[in-house]
Amino acid sequence: MKKMTITLGQRNYPITISSGLLNHFDSFEPLKKGDQGMLVTNQTLAPLYLSSIRTVLEQGGVRLDHIILPDGEKYKSLASIELIFSELLRKWHGRHTTLIALGGGVIGDLTGFAASCYQRGIRYIQIPTTLLAQVDASIGGKTAVNHQLGKNMIGAFYQPASVIIDIDCLSHLPMRQFSSGLAEIIKYGIAFDFNFFCWLEDNMDSLLRRDIDALSHCISRCCQIKSKIIMDDERDENGLRALLNLGHTYAHAIETETNYIFYLHGEAVSIGMLMAAQTAQKLGLFSRTDIIRIKKLLLRAKLPIQGFHQIDPKSCLLHMMHDKKVMNGKLRLIIPTAIGQSEIYEGIDNEIVLASIKETLMLSMNQ
Ligand code: NAD
Ligand code: MG
């Protein structure tokens, strides 16, 4: 078992990583006998895990209610938050109840946001079940729902009371979702940790076989990297946390341009990271050899390195100009300066960005 603590003054919390965690009541700290809880999950996960978790928690003396939401990003909405609130009120949950998020990033973000405002803030626990949520979404306390006019537009910084990462959950995860998580994992290597990138090159086959030891090492390394950044920049204020978004400004443009239909987030991030690397190369900051090295790893992770649905480079650039990081009409982008290193660059010429988008799409297609 691997355990680490996020240290944030009054809001410290543990992250526990192992296989079989959900079978033991002790894993569900800080829940204890006599506590009340509301588990939030979706229609895909409930048949897989709800009854066994209920048994473990009830044997431990927790009074558990649950709510099962429909599955999908479109349900990351204020309407779902209302459903959670109604269920909490109907079942007489007071300020001392605990919400338990069982699911991927959608359920985690929803539950965290509901916890941040129900009766001015109650405790919640994250049980991430996708690879992406285990290495990224469940840690760091960013919670949100989508608005018709924008993704993650309504939310709060609100840290969980613990994060329980049971690697066994990944055995049910569809391959495409698994690869989407691998994109964020590779991002940690490119943006922060050369040795981890090399480890990924050596161990990609084991990860794809979902080998427990390889997954355990990989997930805990990502959690360590993200934890350190959260501890230094909890509220995304000093630029450090922004580095976690390597490739994301490009990726969001791809997702918006294709209406969030054709690409999973990690797939868009895969292409976005290559576009960022291409921009870096044009600025003389990154070598072609390293771009090829990244491409090879992404391909092995079964991720796209080219658009597989029509993407218009100029519209992508326009979407990028609407990014939160744009200042005075100038793009601010996270750019890799070597494998394992990244920086925020301001005032990059739009023509360079446009050429990088075009060339990434075209170069890949010629391969
Ligand atoms: P998701 O929650 O939609 O899960 C993907 C799919 O996998 C869903 O259909 C889900 O039901 C299914 N699934 C989940 N676990 C499964 C399992 N063990 N077995 C079988 N199927 C399973 O998507 P995601 O990729 O986990 O998360 C994406 C969301 O996370 C986005 O809304 C994004 O904005 C958010 N996010 C938040 C943060 C943050 O810091 N808060 C960071 C990254 C992403
Ligand atoms: Mg991401």
Q: Over range 175-190, report the average pLDDT.
A: 98
CB-based pocket (< 6 A), ligand 1: 42, 44-45, 71, 73, 76, 103-107, 109, 129-130, 132-133, 136-137, 140, 142, 152, 169, 172-173, 177, 180, 265
Q: Over range 199-223, report the average pLDDT.
A: 98
pLDDT at position 299 over 50: yes
Candidates 68, 106, 245: which one to mutate for ligand 1, based on the most atoms within 8 Å of Cβ?
106
Which residue spans of the chain are classified as CATH 1.20.1090.10? 175-362
**Nearest CA owner, ligand 1 atom 4:** 104
Quote the CA–CA distance of 296 and 283 in Å, as a whole number. Answer: 22
* pLDDT of 367: 45
Sign of the CA dihedral with 228 first, then 234, 239, and 242 last: positive
**Nearest CA owner, ligand 1 atom 43:** 137
Burial, 325: exposed, middle or buried (Cβ in 10 Å; 0-12, 13-18, 19+)? middle
* pLDDT of 256: 92
pLDDT band at 366 (very low <50, low <70, confident <90, very high): very low
* pLDDT of 179: 98
Burial, 153: exposed, middle or buried (Cβ in 10 Å; 0-12, 13-18, 19+)? exposed
Candidates 129, 143, 245, 252: which one to mutate for ligand 1, based on the most atoms within 8 Å of Cβ?
129
Tell me the CB-side half-sphere exposure of residue 54, using CA atoms within 13 A: 14
Catalytic residue flag (residue 237): yes
| pLDDT tens-place string over residues 35-52 | 999 999 999 999 999 999
Q: Which atom of ligand 1 is nearest to the CA of 169?
A: 18
Please give the class, per CATH, of domain 175-362.
mainly alpha
pLDDT band at 10 (very low <50, low <70, confident <90, very high): confident
| Residue 112: both structure tokens together | 């965290």
Q: Please report which residue ranges of the chain form alpha helices under DSSP H.
A: 51-59, 78-90, 105-117, 131-132, 175-192, 194-208, 212-232, 248-257, 265-282, 288-300, 313-321, 350-366
| pLDDT tens-place string over residues 139-163 | 999 999 999 888 999 999 999 999 9
CA 89 to ligand 2 centroid distance, Å: 33
Q: Which atom of ligand 1 is nearest to the CA of 142?
A: 41
40 is in an annotated binding site: no
> Which residue among the candidates 120, 259, 328, 366 is catalytic per the annotation?
120
Which residue spans of the chain are classified as CATH 3.40.50.1970? 2-172
pLDDT at position 208 over 70: yes
Q: Which residues pair with 126 in a beta bridge?
A: 101, 163
Catalytic residue flag (residue 248): yes
How high is the mean pLDDT of the chain?
95
Which of helix, strand or coil describes residue 104? coil
* pLDDT of 365: 44
Cβ-proximal residues to 299 (8 Å cutoff; 6+ apart), any chain: 305
Quote the CA–CA distance of 227 and 338 in Å, as a whole number. Answer: 22
Place of tokens 């805990």: 220
CA 127 to ligand 1 centroid distance, Å: 11
Q: What share of the chain is helix, strand, coil (3-state, %, to 5)?
A: 55, 20, 30
* pLDDT of 117: 97
| pLDDT tens-place string over residues 90-123 | 999 999 999 999 999 999 999 999 999 999 999 9
Q: Considering the chain, what percentage of its residues have pLDDT values greater than 70?
A: 98
Sign of the CA dihedral with 279 first, then 105, 76, and 240 last: negative
CATH code of the domain occupying 2-172:
3.40.50.1970
76 is in an annotated binding site: yes
Global pTM reads: 0.97
CA 50 to ligand 2 centroid distance, Å: 27
